[in-house]
Chain A
């Protein structure tokens, strides 16, 4: 905006203001009505939806589903879309940071003096696209549950081995299913495809020791299973055994 456009705007705005109405009582009445609506919706939600309190936090537990507040779903879904390991920092911090910087600097790179949305096609289209993208990602995040079931069949050679091996495999399958792994990993037909890699055939890519090491010292954002190993080593071992048989 150059000096002439600035002065033009200020002149037009001064006129609009002159022809307007005072803040009190006109705007105050509207704002007050809106405040009542906001208050009523908060009260209604508090009464209808309540405030549930889940079970107490337990670092050694294996049954949890790490789900953020719903308005963070779009960030979480972004993690699933950008999957290659070297691009993960881009998804987790890169894209949000770039978006934040773009938002902060918006008035400095959008210097078009035009204000009507239909005469700023690029800005309006970008805004609508952002709203649709965020809405879609939030919807995806809301509909993706955290399954606690693994329907993979036990491979015949393990059934043939029987005894402790079969028992450990079945226990491991249960522990993995209850541990929220499926929020980020796919097992056969179950689980979400990402942000983590699919684990359907993890054993063909990682040896048993490496699987155990990854569980204790994982790549972020995966939480560590160190506490489980320390407190309930048999459950941890079953988990490793189960994963190391997935070929």
Chain B
């Protein structure tokens, strides 16, 4: 018998597999091999505990479609990651003309290149919309209140980082629109009090918009922010699983005492 036994999902009886007739029990050897391999890993890592904790935790009564917005945002992020990796296979952060040339190559020559670039471009809009919808749900349902304050703070940090991703990614195609919009954007940062000038100098890699600016935006867009984003998403999800998602605020639990009396 395999040690790993998953709790049966609460399906209607009709959908559950029928119990086997005595005498006909013979597990397929391939399934047996798979189960014992999983057992081998689980014996050494106890990963199944974590999986069980994550997958079979109970979701409060009354949870509705609004509660899918967070996972939808996560899904948009994953889509951005995958399409971004494929774009990075062809992109060159070379301000002297290589950057524009490589994006032109992706768009016009690479198989499905324009499609993947379109998915990355529009995926960013979709992700921003979903993040705002997710935040609106959290705000109006009062889901940021005790005990989930810290998760709200992490969520706002994720919003800021997503906007920073969009700002740094806008320059990378290095066409006219992205070049001039970024100059104005960096200048806007420069008008800020106290740290403004330092921030814009940091973004430009100097007082003037130069060849290293693109490399800097590229590094921030590809390495720095995605790393922080992934780590914070992990923390966000851990807290969601640990604290549980809220129920809609108008849902009331059945009183267990009354229930007992009825029964």
Contacts and interface: CB of A to CB of B under 8 A. Distances in A.
A122 interface: no
A107 B176 contact: no
B180 A64 contact: yes
B254 interface: yes
Interface stretch (A66-74, A154-162, A208-216, A233-241): A66-74
Given A21-B58, A56-B100, A71-B166, A103 B156 contact: yes
Interface in B162-210: 163, 166-167, 170, 173-181, 183-185, 187-193, 196, 200, 209
Q: Is the interface of B mostly helix, strand, loop or mixed?
A: helix
Interface in B3-33: 9-11
A39 B79 contact: yes
A28 B126 CA distance: 21
B40 interface: no
A126 to B, nearest CB: 9
Interface stretch (B41-49, B59-67, B221-229): B59-67
A103 to B, nearest CB: 5
B177 A54 contact: yes
A44 B23 CA distance: 53
B242 interface: no
A192 B188 CA distance: 18
A43 B71 contact: no
Given A38-B75, A92-B191, A107-B145, A66 B60 contact: no
A38 B133 CA distance: 13
Contact of A31 (B68, B76, B153, B179): B68
A94 interface: yes
B111 interface: no
Q: How many residues of B sit at the interface, in one of the four size bands? A: 35 or more
A225 to B, nearest CB: 12
Interface residues of A, number: 85
B184 A58 contact: no
A55 B116 CA distance: 20
5 contacts: A10-B147, A67-B181, A88-B191, A221-B188, A223-B183
The 7 closest A-B pairs by CB, nearest first: A46-B118, A93-B192, A115-B142, A57-B179, A15-B253, A107-B149, A54-B175
Interface of B: 9-11, 54-63, 65, 67-69, 71-72, 75-76, 79, 97, 100, 103-104, 107, 114-126, 128-130, 136, 139-149, 152-153, 156-157, 159-160, 163, 166-167, 170, 173-181, 183-185, 187-193, 196, 200, 209, 244, 246-247, 249-254, 256
Interface of A: 1, 6, 9-10, 12-13, 15-28, 30-31, 33-35, 37-39, 41-43, 45-47, 49-51, 53-59, 61, 63-72, 75, 79, 88-89, 92-94, 97, 100, 103-104, 106-108, 110, 113-117, 120, 123-124, 127, 131, 180, 220-223
